[in-house]
Chains A and B, each alone.
Chain A
Amino acid sequence: MKTLSRRTLLRGAGGFALGLPLLEAMFDNRAFAQAAAPKRYLLGFAGCSLGGYDGNIAQTFVPTTVGANYDLKAALANLAPVKPLVSVVTGLRIPWAVNGVVPAGGKAVQFHYYQVAPLLTGMRSTDGDFEGPTTEHLAGDLLGGNTTFRTLVTRVQVSSYVDAAQPGTGQSISYRRNGTSVQSVPPRYSPQQLFQALFGNFTSTGLTPDQVAEQAWRVEQRKSVLDSVGDRMTRLKTRLGVADQRRVDAHLAEFRELEQRVAAIPPPMVGTCLKPMDPGADPAVGGNQQTNDGNITYSQNLGYSGEDARARVMCDLIHMAIACDLTRSVLLQFTNSQSFLNMSSISGQRSDLHELSHGGFGNLNDPDTTQALAKGINWHMKHWAYLLGKLRDTPEAGGNVLSNMAAVFSFEGGHGFDPADGRMVSAHSTENMAMLVAGGAGGLRGGQHIRAVGAHPAQVLLTALRAVGYTSTSLGEVSGEIPGLR
């Protein structure tokens, strides 16, 4: 009779078997990691621009002071507790198509959907499609080592909330290399699923030996079932045509990787690594945006699935995933590009994030439209500051976790000229874009406002990547670091 469970064996995605010695080697690596902390990369993303049609980002976003001791405007006010750690880079610009020709690192004339690819890859895109890998995968491949999650891709906003949108769908902003092209990596968007994925095989503290054995027993069962499923898929393949084999192979690889993650021996919960509290069931998923007689309806459960609570949980989980060295590269996308997240439960504004950047349309109880989008941005900053603070407050070799990291926050758009309609002051602009950089890896310097007028935002990403050990001098078609950032 075939033995389905192989307690002493891990199976690689390629089907090769790994014996015990390598497991022990992994353990050794981790022990070593405690001595000389690894570098990590963290990318945050907000699906909004910096200011609205009638806004003035000099008043709401961009610090007046250049250099150290910069001032925080309303959009970044929540950064106050971590301001000495965060550098603000402003004046960035993605070039756009002129006479139908998209320049290197550039975008088409249109806005939404078209600029995120060059923003995050440094590669030009004529149609919004991603032509190169995104930086969290470059960093994950560089830094991942034997960690369980080479790159962790997460998103807070559950759905795009328009038309017939379904949970988990929406423009992907994460692409990894796949042969000669790139392939999107859908995000984990359920906090409960993220918790189970990261910590499902951790032993809780304070359990009786019996309870510990019971938990190990559950892991053993999951491993055996997944192992058997993988074997079945491998055998099924031989009966299929080549196209079907490719589909099975892609899923088989994901099943094998899941099996490996379930089978991975959790790091010892010593020092700062602790199993977080189970966040419990996810907040209910809200419906898609509705309109009533031409007005968009912003009731509490439309376009909102408790993203404020979800963001908090995800920050807690990501912090601990990094502290436990489960992953060294993370994408945390707070909001979808062109985000229709309903802001009424978040900032008390009867509008969605996207409309806040269009002069406060639908913004029924906020007469100060110049500040409207700032409140939306500042919600992102609340969670970003919380996560950076937790990473800073986690000691490890070399200081703290944040001091060994590069953490970049990126916005979908800037504020300025819109080549699509000729407006000089528009949210649909890739002029005057900004990024926030924190962390002390590779000599990164926090606490400054750097004016990098005309620089490409991908240069900020490149600087951060190089700070954690990336050796290439270019990202996509963009090269050169941002002077003064490290």
Chain B
Amino acid sequence: MRSALALALFTTACTGEIRIPVPGAADPLNPVDPSNPLDPLQPETPALPAVVELRRLTRGELDLTLMELVGDTSHAALTLLPGEELTPFDNDYAKQQASAVWVEAAERLVEQVVGETLASPARTARIMPCTPTGNDDVVCLAQFTKSFGRRALHRPLSDEEVTELTSLHALARQRGTIMTSVSLVMKRLLLDPELLFRVETGTATADGAVALDAYALASRLSFFVLGRAPDTSLLDVAAAGGLSTPHQVREVARGLLDSSEGRARVEVFHAMWLGYLSLPHDAMFNQRAATETSALVRKVVFEDKADYRTLLTFSKTFVDDTMAAHYGLTPAGTAGPHWLDYGATGRQGILSHAALLSNGTKQTDTSPTLRGKWIRNRLFCQEIAPPPPNVTADEPPPETAGAVCKKQRYAAHDEVQSCAGCHLQMDPIGFGLEQFDRTGRFRSAEAAHPECAITGEGKLAGIGDFVGPKGLSDLMVEKNTLDQCLVTQVFRFGTGRREAPADGALLRELSRSFAAKGRRFDELVLDYVSHPTFAQKKEAL
């Protein structure tokens, strides 16, 4: 099913200069694009509740939910369920498709997890509120149904629902014990659409939105901040009216975000967004690279609660001696990773990290085109139209007699006017990072052609020239280009979809408050979840 929202996605056609969302005076040559929700020159309107469609839990969400719910630490969900296509996040609901393979896997998962849970006396004890006195202790069965049902569906069950669920007892008793009844109720609840899907209920408001009820809000908050269904303590807070005001939501979210699960979630967000969830090098190198980038994210977001732009400007990086040598830094000479100063290496911040520089490669070398596209896509939230069907993008531009060096080879992109429109938006960015190979190692000439010097001179069309990751970072900080895209990526992660024009006012409002409050990532998350629209939704048509 293709979402109408996905079709409304802002895609630049590369016919002219891409507007970089930098606030400033109106430019008569570059008028406001009403279809671009990020355009800062859009007229201000009140933020609207976001359209949210029914979403299936991702493998990761189901895994964490089952761990919390029944103590499943086998990661059965990750083993049995088909994976997601990362776009770059795993929760893009436009990609979620009903299929026999998914439904069968879900049933197998539930059969397996319930079997394992009830085979363990300790795990069984944690989910049973009572000890059955006999095989027909339907009172205890009803108590279990009520308590487990509340945790599974993250809302209290009605008496009718409890009665219906416990009616499975009649079947169970044909051949089984009271624990057979328990297992049937568990399986039925773990396959309940309110567990497998994010069903957000509420009451219609006067202006055509839906105000989420307290449990639905607890659920939305938990999935966003922790990546799983809410646990009993959060449901209790919701039940006691503890999520009734934006301020309350903000304070509850602050605690969740600062927990180990909340911190892990922030890392997952960054790993998906910045493309280092699964790196393409050898396992040891991947580990070092991910450790390095995670450390800076953790430091900026949680330890220092620093201006988020510190990710782009930090002068040190967290590497062990092997990685230090790889980067050309002076190793500390002791075991394990340390914060080492970049010194005069031309490196600065996260754009110098191997984890990020691993993105945008063609075969076994960097592709200036793909790196530029990646930067546009991930850090500027701009889509570049795919190449037309009459050209091939399979191979990098070939070497010819007149074009030996990479820069000359890629110049072919700019010689044809229909190619240049898009490639001038991408290739010059990539060339600005060319002094760093796909593992983040410095180079000043092409390996195959030592006569081809690599200068690292780059250009962000419409913004300015730069040299190397430091230059690009400084330019992004100077022009404040990151704010709106970061907010947009957080929004995409939260809603499981791309932004639509109707989301623009909220995105711009969040961007402004992000900038006004010292650009702290944690405050952005808290601003988002405590925004009045977070407690509401619009139904998709």
What residues make up the interface of A, taking CB atoms closer than 8 Å to B?
1-5, 97, 99-100, 102, 108-112, 114, 126-127, 159, 162-169, 183-190, 193, 196-197, 213-214, 217, 220-222, 224-226, 228-229, 232-233, 236, 239-244, 246-248, 250-251, 253-255, 257-258, 285, 287-297, 420-421, 428
Shortest distance in angstroms between B46's beta carbon and chain A's nearest beta carbon?
Answer: 22
Shortest distance in angstroms between B452's beta carbon and chain A's nearest beta carbon?
Answer: 17
> In the complex, what residues of B have CB within 8 A of residue A109's CB?
389-392
What residues make up the interface of B, taking CB atoms closer than 8 Å to A?
1, 53-54, 56, 59, 79-80, 82-86, 96-105, 107-108, 111, 163-164, 167-168, 170-172, 174-176, 180, 184, 187-188, 191-194, 196-197, 199, 201, 275, 277-278, 280-283, 285-286, 364-365, 386-395, 398, 438-439, 539-541
Shortest distance in angstroms between B52's beta carbon and chain A's nearest beta carbon?
Answer: 9
CB of A251 within 8 A of CB of B98, answer yes
Q: 29 interchain pairs (CB within 8 A)?
A: A3-B167, A100-B388, A108-B390, A114-B389, A126-B389, A165-B83, A168-B82, A168-B83, A169-B82, A189-B82, A217-B175, A217-B176, A220-B171, A221-B187, A225-B168, A225-B187, A225-B188, A229-B193, A244-B53, A244-B540, A247-B56, A248-B197, A251-B103, A257-B100, A258-B103, A288-B280, A291-B364, A296-B364, A420-B394
State the CA gap A296–B364 with chains docked (Å): 8
Shortest distance in angstroms between B74's beta carbon and chain A's nearest beta carbon?
Answer: 12
Most buried by B among A193, A217, A258, A297: A193
Total number of residue pairs linking A and B with CB closer than 8 Å: 212
State the CA gap A381–B162 with chains docked (Å): 56
CB of A97 within 8 A of CB of B1, answer no
Q: Could you say which of B100, B170, B365 contacts A188, with CB atoms under 8 Å apart?
A: B100
> In the complex, what residues of B have CB within 8 A of residue A188's CB?
100-101, 104
CB-CB under 8 A for A97 and B389, given A229-B191, A244-B540, A290-B283: yes
CB of A225 within 8 A of CB of B282, answer no
CB of A289 within 8 A of CB of B540, answer no
CB of B104 within 8 A of CB of A167, answer no
CB-CB under 8 A for A228 and B282, given A4-B168, A188-B101, A421-B392: no
Shortest distance in angstroms between B118's beta carbon and chain A's nearest beta carbon?
Answer: 13
Shortest distance in angstroms between B295's beta carbon and chain A's nearest beta carbon?
Answer: 21
With A185-B99, A240-B199, A295-B364 given, can you name 17 additional A-B contacts, CB distance below 8 Å?
A100-B388, A112-B394, A164-B275, A165-B278, A167-B82, A190-B80, A193-B105, A214-B175, A220-B174, A228-B168, A243-B54, A247-B53, A258-B100, A258-B103, A288-B278, A288-B280, A293-B439
State the CA gap A311–B102 with chains docked (Å): 21
CB of A243 within 8 A of CB of B541, answer yes
> In the complex, what residues of B have CB within 8 A of residue A239's CB?
201
State the CA gap A199–B423 with chains docked (Å): 54
Shortest distance in angstroms between B325's beta carbon and chain A's nearest beta carbon?
Answer: 14
CB-CB under 8 A for A169 and B84, given A187-B101, A254-B99, A420-B392: yes
CB of B97 within 8 A of CB of A166, answer no
Shortest distance in angstroms between A356's beta carbon and chain B's nearest beta carbon?
Answer: 15
Q: Could you say which of A110, A241, A248, A291 contacts B193, with CB atoms under 8 Å apart?
A: A248
Shortest distance in angstroms between A295's beta carbon and chain B's nearest beta carbon?
Answer: 7
State the CA gap A420–B283 with chains docked (Å): 35
CB of B54 within 8 A of CB of A297, answer no
> In the complex, what residues of B have CB within 8 A of residue A258's CB?
100, 103-104, 107
Shortest distance in angstroms between B357's beta carbon and chain A's nearest beta carbon?
Answer: 13
Chain A minimum-CB-distance residue to B98: A250
Chain B minimum-CB-distance residue to A154: B101
